[in-house]
Amino acid sequence: MVARIIPVDPFDLVIFGGTGDLARRKILPGLYRRLADGQMPAEARVIGAARSESDDDGFRALVREALDEFLPAEQRDEETIAQFLSQISYVQVDATGENGWDDLRAHMREGVIRAFYFSVAPSLFGPIAERLNARGIADETSRIVAEKPFGKDLESARELNRNLAAHFDESQIYRIDHYLGKETVQNLMAVRFGNMLFEPLWNNKYIDHIQITVAETVGVGGRGEYYDRSGAMRDMVQNHMLQLLCLIAMEPPSRFEPDSVRDEKLKVIRALDSVDPREIVRGQYSAADGQPSYRQDVGDPASKTECFVAMRVGISNWRWNGTPFYIRTGKRLKARASEIAVVFKAAPHNIFEEDHGLHSNVLSIRLQPNEGMELGVTIKEPGPGGMRLLDVPLDMSFAEALGPDAAEAPDAYERLIMDVIRGNQTLFMRGDEVEAAWAWTDPLIGGWEGRGDTPMPYDQGSAGPDDALMLMHRDGRRWREIRA
């Protein structure tokens, strides 16, 4: 199955922080792939902006190195690379000073979409937004893309929103969360709202519980200093995992348009129950087989920052009251996997005497790796000897079901950047949504900081602390196995 590619209109995209890691690793290779697929027009231009002293040729050399490093060899085509590099230029800009802004304004063209990607620290969002307006570089049709983190707590998020709102309308602000750009996440909405099979069952009457797991095999690596100031709660739960929860739990929007979708997500966040401290488990990985511990990785032998968190979350509304959502995420776990598992209730009565258990269906949505969906159903075990039941998966891997083109679907950043150019905010977070998420998160963080709680150690390559297992066992449930 070949995806239908619809080119976007010509644009000027300025990447502040254009020489940084995110630009090299994700943004620039993603734009190249959009050009190669025919979605990015030849009239589009990409302008790198940073404090580094360089010129067009120097920046193009950096971009070429990034493509060689982060693109598979089979995706690199010399003719397309040459075309891509011809559409790239560079401006040296001081984000907090006055140098370079006139040069940047001279680079901008009339009659094309102007987009500005803030791939910089949040502290620079306000100064850049102010100068874009003051120097006449941005206008009422321009768009800005803000990279997370969107603050470190409610007050800083409000301040960040105020800074952006002073210079741009909310309709121009695109707060990017790359998880929402994943193909499977969008398919979650298609499965829910495009199939009569699931939506009538999508409530507390038929669903026993829901698990959301984002497991990583890597440690904090070179992000130790940053990560120890944030932790798993701020880095993952407050944004990525809450967004996934919202898409699972939201009511059907009246139509598939930005504010209708985001209104329903906001209602979910505002309906979240506060979490009892006994329903939260925090952890840090221990040293093992020559691999450093979390505390060694961050250089603080007394750190109380969590790199693993699991919790039981409730939603107080008619659809979900009484159905728990179990969330867990962590570093140095047994496999790299992101999964949403919707566990339906077991049949109320087992009529088969030969079978001694109750069976439940599980809809598993795999975000990474091997994106796809799997529905567990109960069938008769083949062979003679009575009616013995067996749970088997109906597996839909995108690569297998839709062909090899599905396995090469655009990266999340590619899709989201093209949505910016189209002016589609559906998959981006709104300011009030960000603030509501922090309003729920802050008391949880403040609670364990006030109590002086210490994260529990856990073995590298495990499923996390033993207490996380007990979190489920107390409810007569258990976590699904973490598997790639």
Average per-residue pLDDT for the chain = 90
Instruction: Tell me how long the chain is.
Output: 484
Tokens of 204: 């507390």
240 is catalytic: yes
- To the nearest 10 degrees (0 to 180), the angle between helices 431-451 and 154-165 is 160
Indicate if the pLDDT at residue 230 is higher than 80.
yes
Q: Cα 248 from chain centroid? A: 14
Question: Could you tell me the pLDDT band of residue 197, with boundaries at 50, 70 and 90?
Answer: confident
* pLDDT tens profile 312-331: 999 999 999 999 999 999 99
Using DSSP's 3-state secondary structure scheme, residue 206 falls into coil
* pLDDT tens profile 20-54: 999 999 999 999 999 999 999 999 999 999 998 99
Least confident among 180-184, 379-383, 438-442 = 379-383
DSSP 3: P
Indicate if the pLDDT at residue 4 is higher than 70.
no
Least confident among 110-119, 173-182, 352-361, 433-442 = 352-361
| pLDDT of amino acid 289 | 85
For β-strands 143-147 and 45-50, DSSP reports them as: unpaired
Indicate if the pLDDT at residue 243 is higher than 70.
yes
C-alpha span between 319 and 114 (Å, rounded): 42
Catalytic residue among 240, 349, 356, 473: 240
C-alpha span between 449 and 331 (Å, rounded): 21
Q: Backbone phi, then psi, for 239, in 5-degree steps?
A: -115, -75
> Which value, in Å, is the radius of gyration of the alpha carbons in the chain?
24
| pLDDT of amino acid 360 | 76
Element spanning 85, H or E:
helix 78-86
| pLDDT of amino acid 3 | 56
- For the chain, what percent of residues have pLDDT higher than 70? 93
Q: Taking a C-beta distance cutoff of 8 angstroms, is the pair 139, 168 a contact?
A: no
Question: Could you tell me the pLDDT band of residue 1, with boundaries at 50, 70 and 90?
Answer: very low
Mean pLDDT of 161-187: 91
Using DSSP's 3-state secondary structure scheme, residue 201 falls into helix
User: Would you call the peptide bond into 149 cis, given omega within 30 degrees of 0 as the criterion?
Assistant: yes
C-alpha span between 224 and 450 (Å, rounded): 23
Residue with tokens 């190669």: 36
C-alpha span between 442 and 152 (Å, rounded): 9
Ramachandran area for residue 345 (φ above 0: left; ψ -120 to 50: alpha; else beta): beta
| Residue 147, strand partner residues | 176
Indicate if the pLDDT at residue 399 is higher than 60.
no
Indicate if the pLDDT at residue 476 is higher than 70.
yes
Indicate if the pLDDT at residue 409 is higher than 70.
no
Element spanning 338, H or E:
strand 337-344
Indicate if the pLDDT at residue 357 is higher than 80.
no
Higher pLDDT pick, 371 / 180: 180
C-alpha span between 339 and 337 (Å, rounded): 6
